[in-house]
Amino acid sequence: MDTGIPQTHENPIKEIDVRTDTRDVLANAQKYLKRRKLDDVFICDIDAHHMEIEAWKDIVKYISSPVVRDHAERFAQFTGAPPFGINGDLGLLYQDVGGRIPHQTSQREEVPAGPDHRHLTLMQRAREAMGIHYQVLFPTPMLLLGMHPQPEMEVMLSEAYNQWLIDTVLSKDERLKTMLFIPFNTPKECERFVEKFSGQPGVIGFMVTSIRNKPVHHDNYMRLYRMLEERGQVLGFHAGYYWNDDSMRQINRFGAMHALSFTWCNVVHMTNWVWNGLGERFPKLHPMWIESGVAWVPWLMQRLDHQYMMRSSEAPLLKRPPGDYMREMYYTCQPLETDYPKAMEITFEMIKAETQLLYASDWPHWDFDTPSVIWDLPFLTEQGKRNILGLNAARAFNLEVPEKYRTRK
């Protein structure tokens, strides 16, 4: 009998740690969805991650070179061996703030034994908790491969990872997708990757890891861009941080460095892209800027437009100010800088967010965003919220929207 008196009980999970089930960690996100009755909102998460190096022993089996593969497999036999061939600052992983954010530290929760890889289960649990239909998966330490001293290792390791991902993860779950890693330091290999992997299960686009010192306007990339444009494929630039960059080495604390480095890489690539008229050369190829948040975009629009108006002779391919091209690109929202609501509203207006912005969680990383960051914005129309949370992604990637989301309640 319902007495109308709320029932009281104790939640047995007093403290969340690295072994807590993802669904319990994200229980408040699930409650939010139910409270707001968002079960008819189509949500796509355009940037989620897994810790691919946990599967590195399996991934290196896909390395094409028999010598490098042999070395990698021998290396992996040593207990505690780091992932063979991975560069980067694996000892500078301060993201979890000294262990304060457990899901960033590690995901050691129980997963029932079965034929599928445990990462599939982890992603499914996160999707369920946040009401996400499609989720785009990216690796984590591999985001630094663009700084690898051996360009051929970027090619070999990313090709091995891509095939492992398709075989082990993407082909087992039609709601998991990826924008596949391309080894941007070797343009010809990027072209081969596009030929080889287009149309494979779960591949909905291609991704450049933005931490690298390669000018995106170099003539060597024009064939690649043409290929992507002709195939209607999105080209993502996934940001990262690189503390060993000379400018970043001046900064002494992780959060401050992270705030700059995660935007700076995309600031440079965006500037080269726009100023060199790639928007005119490839008008149907719309880049997508991933994991830099959005606050950097109005700043850069203003800087570039201001300079362009005085120095248009240096950018003769442009027929409009740089900001016009930037408004035609796609952006993912995370980490959404919500601390200045008026600035956020203007930012959304400047980037035409209602058609160009795509929700991204970045789960399970420490600065992840739940769908509430979009749904709670007071200045958006409901249609705008629905667009950003999923319908813009459906349009950009030609994703099927299931029937249950097409009929509004």
Partner 1 sequence: MVDIYVGKSHEFEDRSRKLIVHGDNEIGVFFVNGAFVAFENHCVHQGGPICQGQIRKRVIEPLAADKTSLGLAYDEKTLHLVCPWHGYEFAMDTGRHPGKSSARLKNYQVNVRGEDVFVVV
Which stretches of the chain bind partner 1, using CB under 8 A?
6-11, 13-16, 25, 27-29, 31-32, 35, 97, 99-103, 366-370, 372-373
Whole-angstrom distance, CA of residue 129 vs CA of residue 123: 10
Q: 36 by DSSP, 3-state: which?
A: helix
Check residue 141 and give left, alpha or beta (phi > 0: left; psi -120 to 50: alpha).
alpha
Closer of 16 and 222 to partner 1 (Cβ): 16
Provide the token pair at 27. Answer: 């229980």
Closer of 159 and 369 to partner 1 (Cβ): 369
Q: 355 by DSSP, 3-state: which?
A: helix
Output the smallest distance, CB 378 to partner 1, in A. 16
Check residue 123 and give left, alpha or beta (phi > 0: left; psi -120 to 50: alpha).
alpha
Smallest Cα–Cα separation from 131: which of 4, 40, 265, 242? 40
Output the smallest distance, CB 31 to partner 1, in A. 8
The answer to whether 210 and 273 are in contact (CB under 8 A) is no
Output the smallest distance, CB 338 to partner 1, in A. 9
Closer of 28 and 312 to partner 1 (Cβ): 28
Whole-angstrom distance, CA of residue 139 vs CA of residue 50: 6
CA atoms within 13 A on the CB side of 92: 15
Closer of 27 and 227 to partner 1 (Cβ): 27
Output the smallest distance, CB 238 to partner 1, in A. 21
Buried b (16+ CB within 10 A) or exposed e, 363-387: bbbbbbbbbebbbebeebeeebbbb
Output the smallest distance, CB 25 to partner 1, in A. 7
- Cα 380 off chain centre by: 23
Output the smallest distance, CB 249 to partner 1, in A. 18
Output the smallest distance, CB 105 to partner 1, in A. 10
Closer of 102 and 298 to partner 1 (Cβ): 102
Closer of 31 and 320 to partner 1 (Cβ): 31
Closer of 158 and 370 to partner 1 (Cβ): 370
CB atoms within 10 A of CB 302: 13
